Amino acid sequence: MDQYKVAVVGAMGAVGTEMMKTLEQRDFPISEFVPLDAEINAGKTVKFRGEDVTVKKAGAGAFSGIDIALFAVGAEVSLALAPLAVKEGTVVIDNSSAWRMDPKVPLVIPEVNPGALVNNEGLLASRLIANPNCSTIQMLVVAKPLHDAFGIKRIVVSTYQAVSGTGLPAITELSSQAKAYATGQPFVHSVYPRQILFNALPHIDDFLSDGYTKEEMKMVHETHKILDPKIAVSPTAVRIPVFRGHSESLNIETKKPVTPGKVRAILLKAKGIKLMDDPSGLVYPTALDADGKDDVFVGRIRRDPTVANGINMWIVADNIRKGAALNAVQIAELLVEKD
């Protein structure tokens, strides 16, 4: 098997760390691993396959000879570094929002639209590939086989998203507030506009002029680009005091007749999905069930009696794992399979 020189950009962050862990666990064929990060972290070391590897500064010249780079950085950094990496000959798989809606950049979920990676000649469509939003990923892994079977007309989705989606400072803030509660100290918040402990914030990313947030509209636009532009999507995104794991309530209206039994049968055979659906036995997925797992977990499958063809369900996935790191590594695996 061919071996590849692979970099993780943002190696010191939560998603970058998970990318390294995922590359190790899935035994990705790596000849040399290069951790890259901001200048302040250059010279530090990370563990990869049992060895200490020195972090290098991400910048001009850092991508020379690197075959694949997984980017775990913010949009602003990606806008600056991704074109530079591509120019130096690297294939970039970017986890930020920077390139997702660029018509020249494939937006890929391997279980949903792997064909987007290649052009009509069967060649790599772009050396820059975008990872979708974490909430979109888990929703569409479930929606894809149902759309193929029944034709989805409309999705109403409410998300309940972990603080890790905001990054390490948010994890620290929730932890600090929990410690403050336990010791009778006053709560302090700076990452979120309100206290997150014991709370639910219907506010993820900036508000737009129509009252929706950028996070909500990502789910709309990305669904249209990845799956089908005709699917109507009505989203509400909520931040909750959970460290890791996004939960979603999905209401799906289909064109063809649908039953809970048919949905279960289809999802049982679908890639990347695990059913936990036995309410009588109190079996349903929670964020803790998904923690560190690859699959999207599905439960509470039931008929929506208010429409002719409607299904409700509850889905959960690890937003750092499948919602970011794993999806990026799976894209890389598709790339090396095509070599």
Q: What's the DSSP call for residue 187? A: P
Q: Cα 180–182–188 angle (5° rounding)?
A: 15
Ordered DSSP codes for 189-250? -SSSSS--TT--BS--SPBPTTS-BHHHHHHHHHHHHHT-TT-EEEEEEEE-S-SS-EEEEE
Tokens matching residue 232? 């109507």
Q: In a 10 Å sphere around its CB, with 0-12 CB exposed, 13-18 middle and 19+ buried, how is residue 135 labelled?
A: buried
From 134, 189, 203, 221, active-site residue? 134
Nearest to 130 by CA among 225, 20, 215: 225
246 has catalytic annotation:
yes
Place of tokens 């972290």: 41
Residue 68 CB contacts under 8 Å (≥ 6 apart), including other chains:
4, 5, 6, 7, 90, 91, 92, 93, 332, 335, 336
> Which helix (H) or strand (E) covers residue 298, if one does?
strand 296-303
d(CA 76, CA 147): 34
d(CA 325, CA 93): 10
189 has catalytic annotation:
no
Place of tokens 């990845």: 226
d(CA 180, CA 192): 16
From 203, 221, 224, 246, active-site residue? 246
Residue 238 CB contacts under 8 Å (≥ 6 apart), including other chains:
158, 159, 160, 161, 200, 201, 202, 204
Q: In a 10 Å sphere around its CB, with 0-12 CB exposed, 13-18 middle and 19+ buried, how is residue 245 labelled?
A: buried
Residue numbers annotated as active site: 134, 246
